[in-house]
Amino acid sequence: RKEVEQDPGPFNVPEGATVAFNCTYSNSASQSFFWYRQDCRKEPKLLMSVYSSGNEDGRFTAQLNRASQYISLLIRDSKLSDSATYLCVVNGPAYKLIFGSGTRLLVRP
């Protein structure tokens, strides 16, 4: 089993739609969780950290479910510019970060 698993997609949604991605992780001792965004042929960039209480940043909401060992990312009112690959990141042993292989989102006009 992979340490961090994501549905690769692609998720193909119309502009204005709400879309959600889940990510599961295997290490119950993990304490830090993040979502990174990666545009085509670009480097990953931090989108948001995921806190135990959940957090929201504009149209983006991240949630953590420790009992089931997954994190989620919800995007409301999707824009064309949201088209990208979303990487789930979880801390592993010795504070190393473990990346999922990403979920691809395509937002169509």
Member of 21, 23, 84, 102 binding other proteins (CB under 8 A):
102
Among residues 30, 44, 29, 42, the alpha carbon closest in space to that of 87 is found at: 44
Using CB under 8 A, which of 31, 51, 59, 79 touches other proteins? 31
**Given candidates 84, 87, 105, 107, which one binds other proteins under the rule CB under 8 A?**
87
CB of 19 to other proteins, least distance (A): 20
Phi, psi of 50, rounded to the nearest 5 degrees = -120, 120
Question: Binding to other proteins by residue 20, rule CB under 8 A?
Answer: no
Residues 46-75 that bind other proteins (CB under 8 A): 46
Residue 60 CA: distances (Å) to CA of 3, 56, 98, 109: 24, 6, 22, 20
Using CB under 8 A as the binding rule, whether residue 9 contacts other proteins is answered as no
Dist. CA 78–CA 66, nearest whole Å: 27
Q: Which residues are CB-neighbours of 16 under 8 A, at least 6 positions away?
A: 77, 78
User: Which residues would be at the binding site for other proteins (CB under 8 A)?
Assistant: 4, 8, 31-32, 34, 36, 42-46, 87, 91, 94-97, 99-102
